Structure 1
Amino acid sequence: IPNSVDRIVATSPPMTTIMYMLAPEKLAGVNFQWTDEELVYVPDQYKDKFPVIGGWFGSQDGNYEEFIAAEPNFVVESIDEGMGVDLSTVEERQEKFGSIPVVAVTDNTNVTKIDSTIEFMGKILTAEDKAQELIGFNDKYLSEVNSVASSIPDSEKKSVYYASGEDGLSTYASGASHGQLISLVGGKNVADTEVKDSGSELTVSIEQVMKWNPDVIIATDEDFYNNVYNDSKWASVKAVKDHRVYISPQSPFKWFDRPPGANIIIGVPWTAKVIYPEKYSNINMVDATKEFYSKFYHYDLSDDEAREILTSSGIKESDL
Structure 2
Amino acid sequence: MHNSFRSSRASQRPLLAALTLLTSLSTQAAELVDMTGRTVAIPDQIERVFAVTPPVVPLIYAIDPTKLVSLSFPFTPEDAPYVAPAVKDLLIVGRYTGEGPPPNPELLARTQPQLSIAWDMPFIDAKRVETTFQTLGTPGLFVRLEHLRDYPAALELVGRALGAEDRAATLADAIRTALTRVEQAVGAVPAHQRQRVYFAQGANGLQTECADSFHAEVIGLAGGVNVMDCKTQAMCGREPVTLEHIQTLDPDVILTDHPKFFATVKTDPAWSALRAVRDGRVYLAPSSPFSWLGRPPSFMRALAMQWLANRLYPTQFPWDAEREIPAFYALFLGIKPEVVDVRALLGTS
1:101 lines up with 2:101 in the alignment: no
Structure 1 equivalent of residue 68 of structure 2 = 27
Q: Deviations 1:271-318 (Å, cap 9, x if unpaired)? A: 11222222211x22222212211111111122x84442465259xxxx
Match of 2:77? Answer: 36
**Residue-by-residue CA offset, 1:123-181 (whole Å, 9 max, x unaligned):** 11111111111112111211110012210111000100000111111111111101001
Partner of 2:93: 53
For 2:4, the equivalent position in structure 1 comes to none
Equivalent-residue separation in structure 2 for 1:257 and 1:4 (angstroms): 31
CA contact (8 A) 1:222 1:247 kept: yes
Larger radius of gyration: 2
Displacement of 1:10 after TM fit? 0.8
Helix, strand or coil at the partner of 1:57: coil
Q: Residue 224 of structure 1 corresponds to which residue in structure 2?
A: 261
Which residue identity lines up with residue 188 of structure 1 in the other structure?
V
Superposed displacement of residue 101, structure 1? 2.3
1:311 and 1:24, CA in 2 relative to 1: closer, same or farther beyond 3 A? closer
Q: Is the 8 A contact 1:73 1:101 kept in 2?
A: yes
Report if aligned partners of 1:175, 1:198 keep a CA contact under 8 Å in 2: no
Q: Partner of 1:70 in structure 2?
A: 111
Structure-2 separation of matches of 1:47 and 1:17? 11
Bigger relative CO (Cα 8 Å, ≥ 6 apart): 1
Q: For residue 263 of structure 1, report the CA deviation from its aligned partner.
A: 2.4
State the Cα distance separating 1:78 from its structure 2 match: 1.0
Matches of 1:273 and 1:176 in 2, distance apart?
22
2:292 and 2:298 in contact (8 A); partners too: no
- Confirm or deny that 1:137 pairs with 2:174: yes
SS at match of 1:161: strand
In structure 2, the partner of 1:4 is: 45
Aligned-residue offset at 1:201: 2.7
2:222–2:309 Cα contact (<8 Å) kept: yes
Q: What displacement does 1:47 show?
A: 5.5
Give the letter aligned to residue 329 of structure 2: Y
- Which one-letter code corresponds to 2:91 in the other structure? P
Equivalents in 2 of 1:234, 1:307: separation in Å?
27
What is the CA–CA distance in structure 2 between the aligned matches of 1:24 and 1:265, rounded to whole Å? 19
The one-letter code sitting in structure 1 at the alignment partner of 2:128 is T
* 1:308 corresponds to 2:332: no
Q: Which stretches of structure 1, 4 residues or more, deviate above 6 A after TM superposition?
A: none
- For the Cα contact (< 8 Å) 2:46–2:161, is it kept in 1? yes
* Distance apart, 1:189 and its partner CA: 0.2
> In structure 2, what is the Cα distance between the partners aligned to 1:124 and 1:285?
34
Establish whether residue 203 from structure 1 lines up as the match of residue 240 from structure 2.
Answer: yes
How much has 1:221 moved relative to structure 2? 0.8
Name the CA distance, whole Å, in 2 between partners of 1:144 and 1:306.
25
What is the alpha-carbon distance in structure 1 between the residues aligned to residue 151 and residue 346 of structure 2?
Answer: 28
Give unmatched runs, 5+ long, in structure 2: 1-41
Task: Report the AA paired with residue 32 of structure 1.
Answer: F
Distance 1:53 1:311, change over 3 A: closer
Alignment: residue pair count: 307
Report if the CA contact (8 A) 2:148-2:298 is conserved: yes
Residue 96 of structure 1: how far off its partner (Å): 3.3
| Secondary structure in 2 matching 1:80 | coil
- Larger displacement relative to structure 2 (48-57 or 111-120): 48-57
Residue 179 of structure 1 corresponds to 216
Contact 1:79 1:85 in 2 (8 A): yes
Contact 2:259 / 2:347 at 8 angstroms: preserved in 1?
Answer: no
SS of the residue aligned with 1:168?
A: coil
Q: Structure 1 residue aligned with 2:305, among 257, 263, 268?
A: 268
Q: Percent identity?
A: 27
Map Cα deviations across residues 74-119 of structure 1 (whole Å, 9 max, x no partner).
11111100xx21432333323433x2222222x2131122110011
TM-score (norm 1): 0.90
Letter in 2 for 1:55: R
User: Contact 1:149–1:184 at 8 Å: present in 2 too?
Assistant: no
Residue 165, structure 1, aligned to residue 202, structure 2 = yes
Aligned twin of 2:55:
14
Q: Match for 1:251 among 266, 288, 291? A: 288
Check whether the contact 1:171–1:204 (CA below 8 A) recurs between aligned residues.
Answer: yes
C-alpha distance in 2, partners of 1:310/1:35? Answer: 14
Q: 1:214 aligns with which of 238, 251, 260?
A: 251
Where 1:32 maps in the other structure, the secondary structure is coil
User: Partners in 2 of 1:278 and 1:40 — Cα distance?
Assistant: 33
Q: What SS is found at the alignment partner of 1:268?
A: helix
In structure 2, give the amino acid aligned to 1:141: A
Query: Does 1:92 pair with 2:128?
Result: no
Q: Relative to structure 1, is the Cα distance of residues 296 and 25 closer, same or farther in structure 2, using a 3 angstrom cutoff?
A: same
Question: How far apart in 1 are the matches of 2:272 and 2:219?
Answer: 23
The residue number in structure 1 matching 2:11 is none
Cα distance in 2, alignment partners of residues 195 and 251 from structure 1: 26
